[in-house]
Amino acid sequence: MKKINPWAWVSTLYFAEGLPYVVVTTLSLVMYKQLNLSNAEITFYTSWLNLPWLIKPLWSPFVDILKTKRWWILSMQILIGAALAGVAFTIPTGFWFQSTFALFFLIAFSSATHDIAADGFYMLGLNQHEQAYFVGIRSTFYRLATIFGQGVLVMIVGDLQVYFRNSIRLSWSLVFYGITGLFIALWLYHRYILPLPKEDRPHMQLEASQIWEDFVHTLVTFFQKPQVCAGICFMLFYRMPEGLLAKVSTLFLLDAGHNGGLGLAPQDLGLVQGTVGVVGLTLGGILGGLGVSSNGMKKWLWPMVCAITLPDAVYIYLSYALPDLSSIFNYVIVNICVFVEQFGYGFGFTAYMLYLIYYSRGKYKTSHYALCTALMTASLMLPGLVAGWLQEQVGYRMFFIIVLACCSVTFLVSSFLKIDPSFGKKNVDNPAANE
């Protein structure tokens, strides 16, 4: 069988992995805001959409047992496409909230399952050298999906609302029909282009009882690691300020001036947060990785802690300054503020992801890393449930001050970590030591 060039499928596969996540976590947020849900309702309900990513370690073993990774990828893609069509169809109806929320949850569940299958297929479809080569490429296309979802699609929504004279429901419905068409096209393309690795086969010899025993053993060994209390506290609380800020910052940028927000149009939001912000996030992550590679994680831990917390102060400035966005200068200021905050987050997030790898080391590193990512999801989901309610009680200005005060928790949990000074540092003399 002719070998298929990995460029033909790795790029599109990870674009298809990133897009549903953006739809669920960002597009739903903006849509519900424009459809006049309260901030408390928006953050509460959209935070629950993270639940499938939180609990996906519970069913990931069954993706190995039943069918092939390729089958799961294609099945989830067509299911996501159908759910997106359902969202588009039900937005203009009288039961739009109940139906769209249920369909967003279906997309979230399907996307989490797709993540499991896609990451496994990546390991099976490429040799070790190709895996190392394409790791940056897959991350790039995942990020492009983020820019497309948070930036381009939000801008298109805004343009459609201008064209159709502020017909918000129609605009969102048309955009979701467009995403549906894109996803069905990706499904058709992947049916043809995805390779058929010999190793990609179901493992039916494994029984459910054995899977359960392995899961329990994995869980027990996870809590038997050195520094377990410090590690779990770090994983749960390092990103707590971000969990409070992430959704409310978007709502702040969209909210009208008389409500304390900046009143950005969707087109402006797509540029500010979906494009400029994502570029800042990406650059911060790249520089963070280069820094750790040169000097090790321990040396860069505190600069990264400062980077992920202190730039949150830009929202305090914006909430007090409330710049008139009719001025080009003020518009540039808003872009700079969001860029700085996202750059700091990208830089500081490097420490978090590396610690997950550090904590997961050992015999069960893959399973333990999955549990670490579940704790990571919980660290964002739980604060997000109450973020909108808290903002409504105290207003945007005081809310952002509270977020900055909560950053002290990030400093506190980071102070308990004990990290090998050589961890993360590139070993030029012995490349094998870097694995």
pLDDT digits (tens, 9 = 90+) for 282-312: 899 888 888 888 888 888 889 999 999 999 9
- Together in a domain, 330 and 224: yes
- Together in a domain, 12 and 105: yes
pLDDT of 155: 93
User: 202: exposed, middle or buried (C-beta count within 10 Å: 0-12, 13-18, 19+)?
Assistant: middle
Better-predicted residue by pLDDT, 429 or 369: 369
pLDDT of 2: 58
Does this model's pTM top 0.85? My answer is yes
Residue 165 DSSP one-character state? T
Output phi, psi for 83, to 5 deg: -65, -40
- Read off the CATH number of the domain in which 36 is found: 1.20.1250.20
pLDDT of 435 strictly over 60: no
On whether the CB atoms of residues 413 and 237 are closer than 8 A, the answer is yes
pLDDT confidence bin for 432, thresholds 50/70/90: very low
- Together in a domain, 363 and 430: yes
Cβ contacts of 250-253, under 8 Å, gap ≥ 24: 250/26, 250/29, 250/30, 250/33, 251/29, 251/33, 251/39, 251/42, 251/43, 251/388, 251/391, 252/315, 252/318, 252/319, 252/396, 253/334, 253/338
- Together in a domain, 317 and 405: yes
pLDDT of 382 strictly over 50: yes
CA distances from residue 392 to 30, 164, 175, 252, 385 in whole angstroms, order as listed: 17, 32, 30, 11, 13
Q: Is 284 inside a domain boundary?
A: yes
For the chain, the distance separating the N- and C-terminal CA atoms, rounded to the nearest angstrom, is: 32
Q: Is 39 inside a domain boundary?
A: yes
Counted domains in the chain: 2
Q: Is 200 inside a domain boundary?
A: no
Better-predicted residue by pLDDT, 367 or 158: 158
pLDDT of 390: 96
Q: Is 413 inside a domain boundary?
A: yes
Domain extent for 352? 207-435
- Together in a domain, 248 and 394: yes
- Together in a domain, 365 and 260: yes
Q: Is 202 inside a domain boundary?
A: no
Better-predicted residue by pLDDT, 432 or 277: 277
Output phi, psi for 223, to 5 deg: -85, 0
Q: Is 201 inside a domain boundary?
A: no
- Together in a domain, 171 and 283: no
16-25, 45-54, 198-207, 287-296: segment of lowest average pLDDT: 198-207
